[in-house]
Amino acid sequence: MKKIILILFITGLFAACRQHPVAEQVVFGNTWTGNDAQPRAEGFAIIGDSVVAVGTRREIKKWIGKDTKVIEATPDNLIVPGFIDCHTHFVDGGFALASVHLRDAKSKEEFVQRIADFAKSQPKGTWILNGDWDHENWGGELPSRDWIDAVTPDNPVWINRLDGHMCLANTAALKAAGITDRVKDVPGGTIVRDKNGRLTGIFKDNAMGMIFEKVPPPTIQQEDRALEAAMNYVAERGVTSAHNMSGYLPVFERARIAGTLKTRIYAGMNLANWKTLNEKIKAQGHGDKWLRIGGLKEFVDGSLGSHTAAFFEPFTDSPNDAGFFVISEEELYRRIKSADSAGLQVMTHAIGDKAIHTLLNIYERVTKENGERDRRFRIEHAQHIHPNDIARFASLNVIPSMQPYHAIDDGRWAEKIIGYERCKTTYAFRSLLDANTRLTFGSDWFVAPPTPLEGIYAAVTRRTLDDKNPNGWVPEQKISVEEALKAYTITAAFASFDEDIKGSLEPGKLADYVILEKDITRIDPVEIRNVKVLKTVVGGKPVFEKN
């Protein structure tokens, strides 16, 4: 009996000396924390879905009990906070995974053959969507419905260029939408016609709406499958949180209720629907750690590849064309001011220098009129900034939400469209950081791959996809690996008001982390895009493990 009492006394004394509970999990390995106060660590402890301690191996070993699960990374690995993709069209990306893949079609013949092969697998009458084609791959000639009509007689085709600002319709799609050669042009959009006035099938920006509204909506089951496919796809690439620009909120809500979300979602709505979002927040709040709402997306202009981005000066290869706004400046101001007055976050697409300049002016005006607050205005893409506007991002507290993969993609052909001088401040990562701007990164998936390691590679090397710029395209805009990591983690969390719960590995934050095959801060940057994600963990639970 005395022996038992002594054992109990010693056990109790040991527990009292521990000063903290036993961790459910302990992770050991070379850790980049994203926390400036403790940049590197040898491990961390987890209880529930949160990190409770970060430190040296000796410090973290104290959290181990007999039931603690211990995970050991190898010395070559690097553990980082879960990547946050700040700009996605998430469910659309899931749908695209199951459609025809045209992104890397290198010729007109390959483009047509892929569509022909895919059409054979589809039931008669089924719409063929997505595609992500890139006409620059075969020299810049825009595709025409005449290319594909013969191989798609029984299926309406409505496939987008990879930037999402231009689509191709075949004749079956035009007939299904009731569109003839007599259709009138629309403001903020372009309908391409041949020299005889016949529709080629190409529709740009606002003009695309007249066919989109005729595409049959997906079923609930199809939407849910697309979300599941999207979550699995990004988990393999280390993404634990994604900002969805607009649409499909009911899909995310269904998954949240069912407890099937694997990716944390910041879900946006279209700016025109700001009242709906405001009422929803009043009734339900902003959400929780899995699904949050509060952002509103709008467009100022189109894209560079579609010649619809708005510039001060004409395009170099089209001297009578300087792009256009897809919304009037006054209407844009009215919508932004109204939404901001309600305390909502505005995230606006602007690509050309005139679009960015105009949007900064509106943000500045709204800030003065509505008063100072922590509003975190965002400019999505912010691709081609006028040099005079670089410093304004920081002074106005505007977040440039950028996609570095676009730099090594567009860099293959951008100079022929806007010339060398304007390219100097294209994807101006270095200039923005030097001006003390909070820079955030994302992918624009489906437009570009939702692969943060490729984005980091792009920001650090700026080597274009055609390998014609081995020292980097506009190399003065390169940034460091750690700066790129922050743009995908802690600063990305800031962009959705989530920096208190994620974005870094520190006590009290969610246990979202990724184990990388190699330490990307210590290898040749050229090798970063080849590094594999070994494990992706969300809230302490694995959502992907490489076999």
378-381 and 78-81 beta bridge pairing: unpaired
Examine the fold and report which residue of 155, 182, 212 is the final residue of a domain before the chain moves on: 212
Question: Quick one: how many helices (H) and strands (E) in the chain?
Answer: 19, 21
Question: CATH number, domain at 119?
Answer: 3.10.310.70
Burial of 169 from C-beta contacts in 10 A (0-12 / 13-18 / 19+): buried
d(C-alpha 183, C-alpha 341), whole Å: 39
Residues 31 and 128 in one domain: no
Place of tokens 């949160």: 50
pTM summary value: 0.88
Residues 118 and 168 in one domain: yes
For residue 45, give Cα distances in angstroms to 26, 59, 79, 324. Answer: 4, 10, 13, 53
Q: What is the largest CA-CA distance in the chain?
A: 104
Q: Is residue 140 part of a domain?
A: yes
Residues 145 and 32 in one domain: no
d(C-alpha 213, C-alpha 199), whole Å: 19
Q: Give the residue among 344, 401, 400 at the shortest CA–CA distance from 375.
A: 344
Examine the fold and report which residue of 72, 99, 121 is the final residue of a domain before the chain moves on: 72
For residue 341, give Cα distances in angstroms to 116, 336, 338, 368. Answer: 51, 8, 5, 12
Residues 54 and 96 in one domain: no
Residues 51 and 152 in one domain: no
Q: Give the residue among 26, 107, 108 at the shortest CA–CA distance from 63.
A: 26
pLDDT of residue 19: 62
Question: CATH number, domain at 16?
Answer: 2.30.40.10
The amino acid sitting at 209 is G
Residues 14 and 62 in one domain: yes
How many domains does one find in the chain?
2
The 3 state secondary structure assigned to 277-299 is HHHHHHHHCCECCCEEEEEEEEE
104 Cβ contact partners less than 8 Å away, ≥ 6 residues apart: 137
The 3 state secondary structure assigned to 463-531 is CCCCCCCCCCCCHHHCCCHHHHHHHHCHHHHHCCCCCCCCCCCCCCCECCEEEECCCCCCCCHHHHHHC
Alpha helices (H) in 259-352, listed in sequence order? 274-284, 329-341
Residues 175 and 110 in one domain: yes
Examine the fold and report which residue of 167, 186, 212 is the final residue of a domain before the chain moves on: 212
d(C-alpha 543, C-alpha 232), whole Å: 8
Can you point out the beta strands (E) in 145-275?
157-161, 166-169, 189-193, 199-205, 239-244, 264-270
Helices 274-284 + 329-341 axis angle, to 10: 10
Q: Give the H/E segment covering residue 257.
A: helix 249-258
Residues 99 and 177 in one domain: yes
Tell me if 255 sits within 8 A of 224, measured CB to CB. yes
Q: Is residue 36 part of a domain?
A: yes
Q: Is residue 534 part of a domain?
A: no
- pLDDT in single tens digits along all 547 residues of the chain: 444 444 334 344 444 445 678 999 999 999 999 999 999 999 999 999 999 999 999 999 999 999 999 999 999 999 999 999 999 999 999 998 988 999 889 999 999 999 999 999 889 999 999 898 999 899 899 999 999 999 999 999 999 998 888 999 999 999 999 999 999 999 989 999 999 999 999 999 999 999 999 999 989 999 999 999 999 999 999 999 999 999 999 999 999 999 999 999 999 999 999 999 999 999 999 999 999 999 999 999 999 988 999 999 999 999 999 999 999 999 999 999 999 999 999 999 999 999 999 999 999 999 999 999 999 999 999 999 999 999 999 999 999 999 999 999 999 999 999 999 999 999 999 999 999 999 999 999 998 999 999 999 999 999 999 999 999 999 999 999 999 999 999 999 999 999 999 999 999 999 999 999 999 999 999 999 999 999 999 999 999 999 8
Q: State which residues form the domain around 176.
A: 90-212
Q: Is residue 337 part of a domain?
A: no
Burial 318-332 (b: 16+ CB within 10 A, else e): eeeebbbbbbeeeeb
Residues 68 and 96 in one domain: no
Using the 8-state DSSP alphabet, how is residue 25 labeled?
Answer: E
Q: Is residue 485 part of a domain?
A: no
**Cis peptide bond prior to 325, omega within 30° of 0:** no
Residues 155 and 49 in one domain: no
Q: Is residue 65 part of a domain?
A: yes
Q: Is residue 446 part of a domain?
A: no
